[in-house]
A and B are shown apart, each in its own frame.
Chain A
Amino acid sequence: MNAYINDFPLLLKKDEKGKRTIYLDNAATTQKPSCVIKAVSDYYEYTNANPHRGTYDLSMQATDVYESARKRVSKFIGAESEDQIIFTKNSTEALNIIAQSYGMTFLKEGDGVVVAISEHHSNLVPWQVVAQAKGAELSFLYTDKYGEISSEEIEKKITEKTKIVAVAQISNVTGKINPVREIIERAHKFGAVAVVDGTQGAPHIPVDVNELNADFYVFSGHKMLAPMGIGVLYGKKDLLESMPPFLYGGDMIEYVEEQNSTYAPVPQKFEGGTQNVGAAAGLSAAIDYLNNIGMSAVMEKEKELTEYMLEKLSSVPHLRIIGSDKPEGRIGVVPFIIDGAHPHDIATILNADNVAVRAGHHCAQPFHTHLGVSSTCRASIYIYNSVEDIDQMAESLSEVRRWLGYGSKRIVH
């Protein structure tokens, strides 16, 4: 077992049979360490008030909590200033802000928008909507069967017509690390803006938005130990300033008259209404927790376990890993199928052994179509997982076909 698990109360809980949950659905959301849970409850117990508004002590303390979370995030991803950090509900909201505010304002008929075929629906559907509304053309960077985007594909698809390129840093289906730097360079060559969906990146590898030279970078707190309901939109200052607000209302204005209003500077311009300050406090604590380990150490640790998981999965009879079965250039997100077993049945059978994995299309239907599978099972690890977890999953997987009536009569537990 690994020592980090002791910080995660949910993972230590045992059911009536004395078994704990083997949680391997971290690409969907992660569990929360005690320090994060405490940061949220401390916020509500000691410092809750509406930030930015009151002149009394509590409100100033709440403002402090909220703004120091912004500073933490800014440092965590290497932003130049904390004004470039906009808090959102999650990555989906952040991507919608970019699509609706930047895309709707600056795209013209005939312009090109390029996304990868492997995108999560949240970095695809918002662009479909904008492209349709503005008469822009949406095109795709296709991957090979290992989930890899080639340099030729990048050169072919990103052209002088391209105005926006939106790609995930790491695929939530295959765990493949995309060549985002190369994609961004190509986009910039033609003056296009590059949107990077860091939802599977920020939790698992060190991120430096300056070094990446991303124009926008988004991620969700809940996939990196923080509470649900807090996400981040990073943007280059001039871009954020050029964009109209997304939500209009309180806290995002400067002056309001009967017929006209002026808006607050960024980031407040994009944070209309009372924000999720408790979750921001949680995100701050999550970042402290991760920094304490060190993101390079997180990456190395996960690499080791990923290697073990790939090896173990490959040894399960009738199991086929989708995408690459190699440990290089990826994180610990591994999709697979078993001959004759539907992913939903696999997940149900694993659940009977307290093993939690995801089954379905993982919000990436076009990518599944592209890979020629209708759905997959997906196991995804985080820092608290151990070889014991992988062993239990592999053991349960070996029983799947028997439960479904293949081969010798199953053993009745």
Chain B
Amino acid sequence: MDLNELYTEIITQYSRSDKHRHPPEKADIKMRGVNPSCGDDLTLYLNIDDNVIKDVEISGEGCAISQASASIMADLMEGKSIEEAQELINKFIGMIKKKVTDEDELEELGDAAAFENISNMPARVKCAVLAWHTLEEALNKKQK
């Protein structure tokens, strides 16, 4: 994979965005996700009201890919119901695995579609999916 495809403007800009970097003191759900081999380590703070995700905040650190992916995801998830969020997570993971390729479906992912070709760089796939898997776990916890 060409670096031009990986470090696109979308990704480098989102990776430095601090829009969702205000972890609240109290959150409905707090969930940590770690990639032990490379040290990506992030915590998601979710506030959920009446089944709708009101706020997603992020703390922790990691590479540009994991950070950008988390920021984009936070943007996308705010205002979504838990079920909608779960569907988007499945779409994102499906896109990474090259199982979701339909343009209309990818469009629903918004800027997250920037990671479409990350599977060409296998070492970085886990960076791109970390936030999404962490959110999935958080929502499963909420539903229990």
Contact = CB atoms under 8 A, between A and B. Distances in A.
B65 A360 contact: no
Contacts of A360: 37-39
- Most B Cβ at <10 Å: residue of A342, A343, A349, A360: A342
A405 B8 CA distance: 9
B16 A344 contact: no
B4 interface: yes
A375 interface: yes
A6 interface: no
A405 B13 contact: yes
A413 B2 CA distance: 9
Contact of A345 (B2, B13, B41, B64): B64
Interface stretch (B51-59, B81-89, B90-98, B121-129): B121-129
B77 interface: no
Contacts of A375: 38-39
Interface string A343-361: 1110011001000000111
Contact of B4 (A342, A343, A359, A412): A412
A374 interface: yes
B12 interface: yes
A369 to B, nearest CB: 11
Which range contains the number of B residues in contact with the other chain?
20 to 34
Contact of B65 (A345, A359, A413): A345
Interface string B113-144: 00000000101100100000000000000000
Nearest to B37: A360
Given A359-B38, A404-B12, A342 B3 contact: no
Interface in A332-389: 341-345, 348-349, 352, 359-361, 374-375
- Most A Cβ at <10 Å: residue of B3, B4, B37, B67: B3
Given A348-B121, A360-B37, 15 more contacts: A341-B64, A343-B39, A344-B38, A344-B40, A344-B62, A345-B64, A348-B6, A348-B63, A348-B124, A349-B3, A360-B39, A403-B3, A404-B15, A412-B4, A413-B4
Interface of A: 341-345, 348-349, 352, 359-361, 374-375, 403-405, 412-413
